[in-house]
Structure 1
Amino acid sequence: MARPDKAAAVAELTDQFRDSNAAVLTEYRGLTVAQLKQLRRALSGNATYAVVKNTLTAIAAKEAGVDGLDAHLAGPSAIAFVTGDPVEAAKGLRDFAKANPALVIKGGVLEGRTLTAAEVTKLADLESREVLLAKAAGVFKASLFQAAYLFTAPTAQAVRTIDALREKTQGSAPAEDAA
């Protein structure tokens, strides 16, 4: 029979897996307590970072319906449970790992799909959600401007043609009066 404290830990991890948008599994071997505090502060807006026991995490992931993490659950593990923007959290972890090589990104889960360490790095290379939305809005605005131009172009060309004909007829009218 499971001990109550372990059952509570599994239940808490299961809830965190279910409530988060993504989870990134890391190895923290060699980091000091101060460095872990610094990492937690860096991720505080988008994620929570917790040191976990591998066996309890495997059980919680299975209960939450998350597959594929078992292969990464070896050695000292910690998980960043992402509740905000997954791209920002991945960037925070990548940047911290660059400054502190002891932090190793093992893999993760995004919307039920298992990610490798390379895919987490690719996720970190994406631009933020706000930048992508601004670019999409710019594309839509350009398309609307182009459509408006196409609708007004025939009218504008007709006006220029009428003006040219008017100038031509007005220019030839004084010549007829002189004859």
Structure 2
Amino acid sequence: MDRTAKAELATMLGEVFNTSGVIVVAHYAGLRVAELQKLRKDAKQAGASVQVAKNRIAKIALEGTDVAGIAPLLQGPTLLAYSSDPIAAAKVVADFAKTNDKLVILGGASGSTALNVDGVKALAALPSLDELRAKLVGLVQAPATKIAQVVNAPAAKVARVFGAYANRDAA
């Protein structure tokens, strides 16, 4: 890799570090190429990305960013998973690590907050942004449905009363 390519990679990583909602750092030693491709495919489907970068270039890109606290994690064969969604990358990496013991989560960052392994796993346990939106829509719709039932209930009761009087007079 020549200097220009390294500079471009450092610039790209710097943009990633500044714009990502979450960054997860993990060791990938022992993973086969097919397993790493599966991780990348899963990440892409979830709206995240997985990048293997030289630690030295990643440390240069980290300088001056809010997530500079993850620099000590960049030792050995590391990969970076990131996403704009604050949960997607953590969820993908944690799910993959459950089925493959060769992927070891080291930590990460969410915004300017550094996360340890437990923090990444706790973040992965949260519902995704889409799940939260669905729950919010459900919560908003539920009161409207109940209001419609309450408003319609008195009219139905009045109709039953009139029906009972009509049936009483007819009998």
Q: Which TM class, normalised by the smaller chain length? A: 0.7 to 0.9
Are 1:81 and 2:82 an aligned pair? yes
Which secondary structure state, in structure 1, belongs to the residue aligned with residue 63 of structure 2? helix
1:14/1:63 contact within 8 Å kept: no
Are 1:57 and 2:97 an aligned pair? no
Q: Which residue of 2 aligns with 1:169?
A: none
1:50/1:80 contact within 8 Å kept: yes
Deviations 1:110-162 (A, max 9, x none): 233222221211122122322222222222233345556777889999999xx
Higher mean C-alpha displacement, 148-157 vs 14-23: 148-157
**Alpha-carbon shift at residue 68 of structure 1 (Å):** 1.2
Distance 1:34 1:153, change over 3 A: closer
Segments of structure 1 that go 5 or more residues without pairing to the other structure are 161-179
Q: Which residue of 2 aligns with 1:71?
A: 72
1:1-179 matched pairs, under 5 angstroms: 3-45=3-45, 46-83=47-84, 85-145=85-145
2:66/2:111 contact within 8 Å kept: no
Deviations 1:4-47 (A, max 9, x none): 44333321211222343321111111111221112111112312
2:49/2:89 contact within 8 Å kept: no
Distance 1:137 1:12 in 2: 36
Q: Which residue of 2 aligns with 1:175?
A: none
Deviations 1:49-99 (A, max 9, x none): 11122222122112333231023122211101214x343332221121111
Distance 1:34 1:119 in 2: 28
Segments of structure 2 that go 5 or more residues without pairing to the other structure are 161-171
Distance 1:127 1:152, change over 3 A: same
**Aligned-pair Cα RMSD in Å:** 3.0
1:26/1:77 contact within 8 Å kept: yes
Distance 1:139 1:5, change over 3 A: closer
TM-score (normalised: structure 2)? 0.75
Overall identity of the aligned pairs, in %: 37
Distance 1:64 1:27, change over 3 A: same
Higher mean C-alpha displacement, 147-156 vs 120-129: 147-156
Structure 1 stretches of 4+ with a deviation exceeding 4 A read 145-160
Q: Which residue of 2 aligns with 1:165?
A: none
TM-score (normalised: structure 1)? 0.72
